[in-house]
Amino acid sequence: MSTQTPGQRAAHTIRGLAMDAVQQANSGHPGAPMGMADMATVLWTEHLKVDPADPRWPDRDRVVLSNGHASMLLYSVLFLSGAALTLDDLKRFRQWGSPTAGHPEHHEVPGVETTTGPLGQGFANAVGMAMAERRLREELGAELVDHHTWVFVGDGCLMEGISYEAAALAGHLGLGKLIALFDDNGITIDGRTDIATSEDTTLRFEAAGWTVLSVDGHDHEQLSAAMAEAKAAGARAGRPTLIRCRTTIAFGAPTLGGTSKSHGSPLGAAEIAATKRALGLDPERHFDVPDDVLAFFRAKNPARAAARAAWSARLEVSPARARFDALHGDLPLSTVAWPSFEPGKPVATRKAGQMALNAAAKALPGLVGGSADLAGSNGSTINGEPAWSRSSFAGRNIHFGIREHAMAAICNGLALHGGLRPYCATFLVFYDYLRPAVRLAALMHLPVIYVLTHDSVHVGEDGPTHQPIEHLWAMRGVPNLHVLRPADAAETAEAWRYALARTDGPTVLALSRQDLPVYDRARLGDPAGLHQGAYTLREAATGTPDVVLIGTGSEVEVALDAALKLEAEGIFARVVSMPSVERFRSLPRAAQAAVLPPGVPRVSVEAGITLGWQAIVGLDGASVGIDRFGASAPGVVVAEQLGLTPQAVAAAARSVLRPV
Instruction: Give the number of other Cβ atoms within 10 Å of residue 474's Cβ.
Output: 18
Domains of the chain, start order = 6-304 (3.40.50.970), 333-516 (3.40.50.970), 532-656 (3.40.50.920)
Q: What is the per-residue burial (b if ≥16 Cβ within 10 Å, else e) of 487-516?
A: bbbbbbbbbbbbbbeeeebbbbbbbbbbbb
The helix/strand/coil state of 347 is strand
Cβ contact 573:628 at 8 Å: no
Cβ contact 577:552 at 8 Å: yes
On the question of pLDDT at 203 being above 90, the answer is yes
Confidence of residue 2 (pLDDT cuts 50, 70, 90): low
Give CA–CA dist 550/604, Å, rounded.
5
pLDDT of 16-37, one tens digit each? 999 999 999 999 999 999 999 9
Three-class secondary structure assignment of 175-216: CCCEEEEEEECCEECCEEHHHCCCCCHHHHHHHCCCEEEEEE
Q: State the Cα torsion 340-343-344-348 to the nearest 10°.
A: 30
What DSSP state is assigned to residue 388?
Answer: P
The residue type at 362? K
Closest CA to 552 of 479, 466, 456: 456
Largest CA distance in the chain: 95
Q: Which of 404, 494, 555, 606 is catalytic?
A: 404
Strand extents, DSSP E, 353-394: 367-371
User: Read out DSSP for 568-583?
Assistant: HTT--EEEEE-S-HHH
Cβ contact 575:559 at 8 Å: yes
Full-model pTM: 0.98
Give CA–CA dist 362/326, Å, rounded.
13
Give CA–CA dist 210/241, Å, rounded.
5
Residue 588, C-beta contacts closer than 8 angstroms, at least 6 positions apart = none
> What is the mean predicted confidence (pLDDT) over 196-221?
98
Give CA–CA dist 36/40, Å, rounded.
6
Closest CA to 424 of 493, 437, 17, 549: 437
What DSSP state is assigned to residue 633?
Answer: S
Give strand pairing partners of 425. 371, 451
Instruction: Give the number of other Cβ atoms within 10 Å of residue 609's Cβ.
Output: 19
Residue 296, C-beta contacts closer than 8 angstroms, at least 6 positions apart = 6, 7, 9, 10, 45
> What is the mean predicted confidence (pLDDT) over 588-595?
98
Residue 617, C-beta contacts closer than 8 angstroms, at least 6 positions apart = 550, 602, 603, 604, 623
The helix/strand/coil state of 385 is coil
Give CA–CA dist 31/261, Å, rounded.
9
> What is the mean predicted confidence (pLDDT) over 362-391?
98
Cβ contact 297:81 at 8 Å: yes
On the question of pLDDT at 659 being above 70, the answer is no
Give CA–CA dist 250/187, Å, rounded.
11
The phi-psi region of residue 384 (left if phi > 0; otherwise alpha if psi is between -120 and 50; otherwise beta) is left
User: Read out DSSP for 264-319?
Assistant: SS---HHHHHHHHHHHT--TT-SS---HHHHHHHHTTHHHHHHHHHHHHHHHHH-T
pLDDT of 402-423, one tens digit each? 999 999 999 999 999 999 999 9
Cβ contact 508:530 at 8 Å: no
> What is the mean predicted confidence (pLDDT) over 120-136?
98
Question: How big is the CA angle at 489 (ends 488 and 492), to the nearest 5 degrees?
Answer: 90
Crossing angle between the packed helical segments 269-279 and 6-25, to the nearest 10 degrees: 170
Average pLDDT, the chain: 97
**pLDDT at residue number 513:** 98
Cβ contact 419:483 at 8 Å: no
**pLDDT at residue number 636:** 97
pLDDT of 417-472, one tens digit each? 999 999 999 999 999 999 999 999 999 999 999 999 999 999 999 999 999 999 99
Pairing of the two strands 535-538 and 573-577: antiparallel
On the question of pLDDT at 660 being above 90, the answer is no
Give CA–CA dist 587/532, Å, rounded.
7
The verdict on whether 404 is a catalytic residue reads yes
The residue type at 222? Q
Sign of dihedral through CA atoms 71, 76, 82, 85? positive
pLDDT of 162-171, one tens digit each? 999 999 999 9
Cβ contact 188:196 at 8 Å: yes
> What is the mean predicted confidence (pLDDT) over 58-86?
97
On the question of pLDDT at 1 being above 60, the answer is no
**pLDDT at residue number 276:** 98
Taking 3-state DSSP, the helix, strand and coil percentages for the chain, each rounded to the nearest 5, stand at 45, 15, 40
Share of the chain above pLDDT 90, in %: 99
Give CA–CA dist 190/172, Å, rounded.
34
